[in-house]
Amino acid sequence: MNSISVVFFSSLRESLGLGEYSFTLNAPMTIGELKKQLAERLDNGQALLASGIQSSVDFDFARDNDVISDTAREVAFFPPVTGG
């Protein structure tokens, strides 16, 4: 079991009304699977399934089929970045 922090940014944070959520990983899970579970659990969670939502694990960009390692501490979900 590994407890991770899941954080949300920008319009996704506003849609969910939530900046941070604690999640316990009981078994290996991909980013895509985590996203689906959160979509079911959180109010307005369908916002997580919108096209273009990106993710990171411990500050590195991740993809839906990446498995979250058992040493991971923080997963983030956010819309496409718009800096510069």
Among 2, 9, 18, 39, binds other proteins (CB under 8 A): 9
Between residue 38 and residue 77, which ones bind other proteins under the rule CB under 8 A?
Answer: 52, 56, 59-61, 76
| Cα four-point dihedral sign 62, 51, 77, 70 | negative
Distance CA 15, CA 39 (A): 12
- One symbol per residue from 26 to 45: x for binding other proteins (CB under 8 A), - otherwise; what is it? --------------------
Of the ranges 3-11, 25-33, 38-46, 64-72, which one interacts with other proteins (CB under 8 A)?
Answer: 3-11
